[in-house]
Chain A
Amino acid sequence: MASLHLLSKVGDVRVDWDPEAVKIGDPEALAAIAEAERILAEARTTGATAFIVKDGEPARVMDEFDPQANQKVVVVPRIVGG
């Protein structure tokens, strides 16, 4: 199961989907993908960064969103010096 987590004041906004279901065009999975893409696009307009997180591996910045990849994406709001 793949997921997208947007860090926010409510903890995190989460969207889950099955990449296998996306491959066969399952409407529910496609709707989840559309929602994830919308959240990602909206966050990126405010300077957020998306990271791909895998167990036991260091995180890496996500350049392109791949709905068919079984991965966890964490979207972090823009950071500034304190």
Chain B
Amino acid sequence: MPAVLIPVVLVALVILGVLAVVCYVPRQQLAKPWNKFVDYVAAQYRAEQTARRLLRQTLGTDEYKRLEERGYLEVPSPSMPGRVYRIPYGPGRVAVYDNNRFTMSLCVQPTQWLPSGDVMLMHKLHIEANEEQYLSTANHLRFA
């Protein structure tokens, strides 16, 4: 057999295999994993929407609008003048700016999975009300 036909034969075999599975496995069993996947994605979407709603209510219209424009939220330090924490929307480290100069980044995460909006709220609330403990919990990454 010419070497050029080998990929064609392989693709044909895969298609035959899929057809065999579709023909012999009951429809309900095939639909189960698919429905499970769809439910999982839908639940995550709903969770993100709910978290975003709470974030919008907590931040207020103006601050939420700024967040949408910039993609991050700035929270001033309650104890250190000139320090600002920049919280990204979504995954990523919290950047620390002292007098407008980037000084370090902080890695903090919840012990359970949370939607992005809730993670952002988690950082904001801890920084505003619990800064000392937040800093002692975080992993600090400094850049010389």
The reply to whether chain A is a binding partner of chain B is: yes
Name A's B-contacting residues (CB within 8 A): 5, 7-12, 46-47, 49, 51, 53, 55-56, 58-61, 72, 74, 76-82
A51 and B46 CA atoms in complex are apart in Å by 24
A18 and B138 CA atoms in complex are apart in Å by 37
Query: A-facing mask of B105-127, CB < 8 A → 1, else 0?
Result: 00111111111011001101110
Q: Which of these, A7, A10, A59, A61, contacts B46 with CB under 8 Å?
A: A10
Q: Which of these, B54, B111, B113, B125, contacts A47 with CB under 8 Å?
A: B111
B46-A80 in contact (CB<8A): no
| Count of A-B residue pairs with CB < 8 Å | 99
A82-B122 in contact (CB<8A): no
Instruction: Tell me, rounded to whole Å, the shortest Cβ–Cβ distance linking B104 to chain A.
Output: 13
Say yes or no: A80-B108 contact (C-beta < 8 A), given A7-B121, A11-B49, A55-B60. yes
B47-A79 in contact (CB<8A): no
Interface assignment of B51: CB less than 8 Å from any CB of chain A = yes
Residue of B nearest to A10 (CB): B47
Q: Which of these, A12, A72, A77, contacts B50 with CB under 8 Å?
A: A12
Interface size band for B: 35 or more
Instruction: Tell me, rounded to whole Å, the shortest Cβ–Cβ distance linking A25 to chain B.
Output: 29
Mostly, the A contact residues are strand
Instruction: Tell me, rounded to whole Å, the shortest Cβ–Cβ distance linking A38 to chain B.
Output: 18
A51-B129 in contact (CB<8A): yes
Residue of A nearest to B47 (CB): A11
Residue of A nearest to B136 (CB): A81
Instruction: Tell me, rounded to whole Å, the shortest Cβ–Cβ distance linking A42 to chain B.
Output: 13
Say yes or no: A81-B139 contact (C-beta < 8 A), given A7-B114, A49-B130. yes
Interface assignment of B134: CB less than 8 Å from any CB of chain A = yes
B139-A82 in contact (CB<8A): yes
Contacts of A72 in B (CB 8 A): 58
A56 and B128 CA atoms in complex are apart in Å by 12
